[in-house]
A and B are shown apart, each in its own frame.
Chain A
Amino acid sequence: MRVKTEAQGAGPAVTHAVTHAVTHAAVHPAHRARAGVGVRAASNALPVATVLLALLLAWYLGCIGLNRQGVIERVLADTPGWTTRDLVAATWSMERPVLPAPHQVAADLWNSITGWPVNSPRNLLLHTAVTAQSTLVGFVLGTLLGVLLAAAIVHSRTLDRALLPWIVASQTVPVLAIAPIVLVILGSLGFAGIAPKAAIAMYLCFFPVTVAMVQGLRAPQRIDTELLHTYAATRWQAFWLLRLPAALPYLFPSLRVAIAAGLVGAMVAELPTGAQAGLGARLLTGSYYGNTVGIWSALVMSALLGLALTAAVAAVERLVLRRQRAGA
């Protein structure tokens, strides 16, 4: 039992620990104790920028390599005597390339955002908003469900023994595969629009939250729970005053995992229904019509959405934990 709980928690925890360890080592020992986020970010800015620049360079080189064949056959066929310079320029500005160049993707993104009204289906912001909406609804519901379930599990030995192993085990299972079933069931029950997508997002969100919250709600030391017992605190008070605050540091990393999982869930839920809107639908239509630049724009947009959602959760985390520390 515990094997699995720990192993599952290891993902985000490892990520977190390693960023921490490495960034800390980079900072001068004298600063180590009070190194703020700003110092760490600044010390990493140059390496990160270098890596990103190298990726960009590799992307442009990849464009030349991957598009070369198509360009020679389709673009330069009727211009005899072309030079290498023509070839490179053509691979970076081709229509329907195998790999669009970064500036083509950026231009397509810019066009689709500024060139059409926000409520037009050609505007990528509309699709982003649709996906973000179902992700957020699912995330909120999934978090609520996860926290409630964890509270029930912590207070009931039966649920702990009978239900928790199934929840933990279900993390080893590709739960996303069940998305088409949820869509069919909810669809035949007459739910349409956001509900099925939010349901899948919720369902992906609640697993990590439940597992982390069970750990977190159990985090208080025996001495603390016994102190509250001597105060004749009720179960409810012990939960509200001790267990819940102690669980917050466990909750937030799981929320970051959950919202990323929820976004994937929402996007996958947009695939099989022939949905009209949403980033997943954009990906699918792009792949039907061979619109590579469109696929890449949707891809970049979904990456940005994922980063923005996680950053929002991280901001809430900082706010809450700071208030908690200030209150303590």
Chain B
Amino acid sequence: MSDDSTAVAPLTWALLAAGLALAVWSVRRAAAIEGPRWAGPLSAALFGAWVLIYWQAGVTVFEVPRVLLPAPSAIAASLLEHAPTLGRDFVQTVLKAVVVGWILGSALGFAVAVAIDRVPFLQRGLLPVASLSSTVPLVAVAPIMVMWFGFEWPSKAAVVVLMTFFPMLVATLAGLQAAGRQERELMHTYAASYMRTLIDLRLPNAVPFIVSALKINATLALIGAIVAEFFGSPTVGLGFRISTEAARMNMSLVWGAIVVAAVTGSMAYALLVALEKRWAFWHPTVRSQQ
């Protein structure tokens, strides 16, 4: 590699340096713009574009081996070429394991939280355990789940259920405590029953907590499903693709699979933010962002 870089002509160096200066200057200019809403994203987008350009240029000029770092164009080509394969991987990992596990795990966490809402004893017992579970590498149950549920997607969904259950439990319990004292006492003066108070006051107040747990769970679910596939899977799936193609040194396809996973993660997140705006538009934390 060092032999190649000595072969780079001085003119190329000058061009690269000039381009770099232009990049720094343009990003700084974009960041200095005050006022309009698009000013913030603009500099981030510009920065991202320059990184892509320099990635491409650097890989081409210095002839970096494809194994080490494929150029963005090679990744894009591989994405197009292997689109059907990656599409099947997406269906297998995301639409089956992640979505099913995420829904089941979150629903279970929510249901348990609501169920033990009237039993302070259980809450005090479960909460410390649930909070501690975030410090434990829960993904490590993957080999056990593969053993129990087989190589197909249910074993991955089971890992995802376990990973998403506790954050939702903790967040829902916190959300149910979030209603203010005055509001609760108002409901009390209305002689509202426990269920009425729960449905009309406390659950709506818990929505921001629940949505934020859904967001955290979306990322956790993707991680859980992909890592669980490292432990054994049918010959389809994003995690399978990443680990086998990395072993075969076919790095552009690995990067392609990662692009698919990354886009999925950010899309899920954006979707949940949009839902939050719709469901919790009245909440101070949401209103302050508009």
Contacts and interface: CB of A to CB of B under 8 A. Distances in A.
A162 B27 contact: yes
A183 B231 contact: no
B79 interface: no
B42 to A, nearest CB: 8
B147 A176 contact: no
Interface in A249-278: 256-257, 260, 263-264, 267-268, 271-272
19 contacts: A7-B212, A10-B171, A10-B209, A18-B177, A51-B122, A51-B129, A166-B44, A177-B242, A181-B242, A181-B254, A184-B249, A260-B137, A263-B137, A272-B243, A283-B140, A283-B231, A287-B231, A292-B144, A295-B144
B137 A161 contact: no
What are the nearest 6 A-B pairs in CB distance? A47-B125, A287-B143, A18-B174, A51-B125, A162-B47, A180-B246
B15 interface: no
B178 to A, nearest CB: 9
Contacts of A264: 137, 139
A174 B226 contact: yes
B219 A172 contact: yes
A178 B261 CA distance: 10
Which interface residue of B144, B238, B239, B266 has the most chain A CB atoms within 10 A? Answer: B144
B262 A173 contact: yes
Contacts of B123: 22, 47
Interface stretch (A218-226, A296-304, A316-324): A296-304
Contacts of B186: none
Contacts of A114: none
Contact of A14 (B67, B209, B223): B209
Interface of A: 1-4, 6-8, 10-12, 14-15, 17-19, 21-23, 25-26, 43-44, 46-52, 66, 98, 157-158, 160-163, 165-166, 169, 171-174, 176-178, 180-181, 183-185, 188-189, 256-257, 260, 263-264, 267-268, 271-272, 279-280, 283-284, 286-287, 290, 292, 295-296, 298-299, 302-303, 306-307, 309-310
A162 B173 CA distance: 37
Interface string B198-231: 0000000000010011011011001100110011
Interface in B161-217: 167, 170-171, 173-174, 177, 209, 212-213, 215-216
A171 B219 contact: yes
Contact of A283 (B46, B143, B170, B249): B143
B128 A284 contact: no
Contact of A284 (B143, B171, B265): B143
Interface of B: 27-28, 30-32, 39-41, 43-44, 46-48, 65, 67-69, 120-129, 131-132, 134-137, 139-144, 146-148, 167, 170-171, 173-174, 177, 209, 212-213, 215-216, 218-219, 222-223, 226-227, 230-232, 238-239, 242-243, 246-247, 249, 251, 254-255, 257-258, 261-262, 265-266, 268-269, 273, 285, 289
Contact of B226 (A18, A177, A296): A177
**Interface on chain B toward A: helix, strand, loop, or mixed SS?**
helix
A292 B147 contact: yes
Contact of A51 (B126, B170, B173): B126
Contacts of A18: 127, 131, 170-171, 173-174, 177
A271 B285 contact: no
**Interface on chain A toward B: helix, strand, loop, or mixed SS?**
helix
A296 B242 contact: no
Given A172-B265, A176-B227, A14 B124 contact: no
Given A26-B120, A287-B147, A185 B69 contact: yes
Contact of B146 (A160, A174, A271, A287): A287
A22 B124 contact: yes
A169 B239 CA distance: 21
B124 A26 contact: yes
Contacts of B139: 264, 267-268
A43 B121 CA distance: 10
Contacts of A309: 135
Contacts of A4: 269, 273
A299 B141 contact: yes
A26 B208 CA distance: 25
Contact of A158 (B31, B69, B215, B231): B31
